Amino acid sequence: MILVTGGAGFIGANFVLDWLASQDEPVINLDKLTYAGNPDNLSQLQADARHIFVHGDICDRALVSALLTQYQPRAIVHFAAESHVDRSIHGPGDFIRTNVDGTFSLLEATRAYLSTLDDAGKAGFRFLHVSTDEVFGTLSTTDPAFSETTPYAPNSPYSASKAASDHLVRAWHHTYGLPVLTGNCSNNYGPLQFPEKLIPLMIANALGGKPLPIYGDGQQIRDWLYVGDHCAALRRVLQAGQLGETYNIGGWNEKANLDVVHTLCDLLDELKPSTQSYRVQISFVTDRPGHDRRYAIDARKIERELGWRPQETFETGLRKTVQWYLDHQDWVRKVQSGEYQQWMSTNYAQRQEASA
């Protein structure tokens, strides 16, 4: 079996669901269930004996060690992280604790666990660390895309904390021989994403008749990766990746934020028409501090060495995503709790006033 950390969050839950849909190997799912960890994401697995959910914190080394001893997993897939740039600006401490301290704790528990395995167990074990392209910093419109050898230059508390976790994973491989793999992905989107991120936020606000807040001029460019494609890439890296290597995972879909929102509005006009185009709800607000201008992923290495390439175009993936949110409005309403409303007020009210 495998141990997944953060498997009730957006990407982690999609990974667990896809994993169990394609094979019978059981999953131990360790999640702290913070605001973004949602048990409803895993509701279809309630009666599935292959899914063992554990409510706990990766910083709790005793708990992690006990799970490793009890279940003897052959791999750890490490998703657990604080992942929202805006939240990291307002409260960086949580990001240091989870992303840095939590990864350190997990690595140390893993190192102790490996010392108890025989040679065959050690040889077959993998620690797959899931990271982000934001560790590389920002690009101009003419810079080449991020490769696996691009120097790290994080610009936000979030990306700095993820860069630190990447460095820890690398160091534990080179110093202690931990059998690690790392994936640096571009912007994920798809079902189950918490509506603080761009695409689900815009869908929720559009349907609710609220403004669609665009930071600055909306020309920040991101590479968009459908979450199902990301999960397939991670399965392939876990299966055949070379120990100690990093793999950039991207969708080959560079889009400006404003273009993404325009496309989204046009899809909603088609699938859920209103009295006027949803584009009229677009509102430009004050940009966030240190906002990176462009991310772009060069994903040729994973295609060349492991044969993975995304299956979804941005258009097909976005259509699937919009349809999922339209079909799961009860899920959206449940996650838009009092904490969510408080966060939206904290993050956007001052920006809207500043742009008026």
Residue 332 identity (one-letter amino acid): V
Confidence (pLDDT) at 294: 96
What average pLDDT does the segment 78-99 reach? 85
Q: Are 92 and 157 in contact (CB under 8 A)?
A: yes
- CA dist 212 and 73 (Å) reads 44
212-215 and 282-285 strand pairing: parallel
Q: Given strand 221-226, what is the order of strands in its sheet?
A: 187-189, 221-226, 254-256
Q: Which carries the bigger pLDDT value, residue 352 or residue 206?
A: 206
- Residue 197 and residue 10: Cα distance in Å, rounded? 11
Q: What percent of the chain clears pLDDT 70, i.e. is strictly above it? A: 94
pLDDT of residue 346: 56
Q: Which residue has the higher pLDDT, 91 or 205?
A: 205
pLDDT digits (tens, 9 = 90+) for 162-197: 999 999 999 999 999 999 999 999 999 999 998 888
Averaged pLDDT, 233-244? 98
CA distance 186 to 208: 28
Global pTM value: 0.93
Extract the tokens encoding 53: 């959910």
Residue predicted with more confidence, 335 or 256: 256
Give the span between the Cα atoms of 129 and 2, in whole angstroms: 13
* Selection from 21, 191, 156 nearest residue 83 by Cα: 156
Provide the residue type at 81 as one letter. A
Which two tokens mark 33? 């269930």
Opening angle at CA 145, ends 143 and 148, nearest 5: 130
pLDDT one-digit tens code per residue, 61-75? 999 999 999 999 999
Report the distance separating Cα 106 and Cα 90, nearest Å. Answer: 26
Quick check: 356 pLDDT over 60? no
- Domains of the chain (ranges; CATH) run 2-189+225-251+291-311 (3.40.50.720)
Average pLDDT of the chain to the nearest whole number: 93
d(CA 229, CA 237): 12
- CB distance 44 to 8 below 8 Å: no
β-bridge mates for residue 131, sequence order: 184
| Confidence at 349, pLDDT banded by 50, 70, 90 | low
Give Cα separations from 58 to 76, 81, 180, 259 (angstroms). Answer: 12, 10, 17, 38
Which pLDDT belongs to residue 183? 98
Catalytic residues: 133-134, 158
Q: In the structure, what pLDDT confidence band is assigned to residue 84 with cuts at 50, 70 and 90?
A: low
**Cα–Cα distances in Å, from 356 out to 258, 291, 349?**
19, 20, 11
Question: In the sheet that 51-55 helps form, which strands lie side by side, from edge to edge?
Answer: 51-55, 27-31, 2-5, 75-78, 126-132, 180-185, 246-249
